[in-house]
Amino acid sequence: VVVVQNASVLDLKKALRRHIQLRQARQGGVQHLSWKYIWRTYHLTFNGEKLADDRKKLREYGIRNRDEVSFIKKLRK
């Protein structure tokens, strides 16, 4: 997924959403995903650190070109 150099976590989430929707449309998969459910159920993480603050820049988390972020299931409270 490509985002601008000074992107925030929210920009990354929007880019992920756009990328997955385009891929699903090309492959003929599920057309509608509930992103409200996905963001409520999963965290984005990088090197074991949750990307919790949507306003924080990716650079502040140490994310650079070609780094991988992953989804991790949120634990129940």
Predicted pLDDT at 35: 94
- Angle formed at CA 74 by CA 42 and CA 77, multiple of 5 degrees: 145
The two three-digit tokens of residue 13, written as one number = 């989430």
Rounded to an integer, what distance in angstroms lies between the CA atom of residue 60 and that of residue 39?
Answer: 21
For residue 33, the model assigns a pLDDT of: 87
> What is the value of pTM for the model shown?
0.88
Q: Count Cα atoms within 13 angstroms, Cβ side, for 51.
A: 29
Q: Does domain 9-73 have CATH number 3.40.640.10?
A: no
Q: Is the pLDDT of residue 77 over 90?
A: no
Number of DSSP helices (H) and strands (E) in the chain, helices first: 2, 3
Confidence of residue 43 (pLDDT cuts 50, 70, 90): very high
pLDDT in the model for residue 38: 94
Query: What is the residue-averaged pLDDT of the chain?
Result: 92
- For the chain, what percent of residues have pLDDT higher than 90? 81
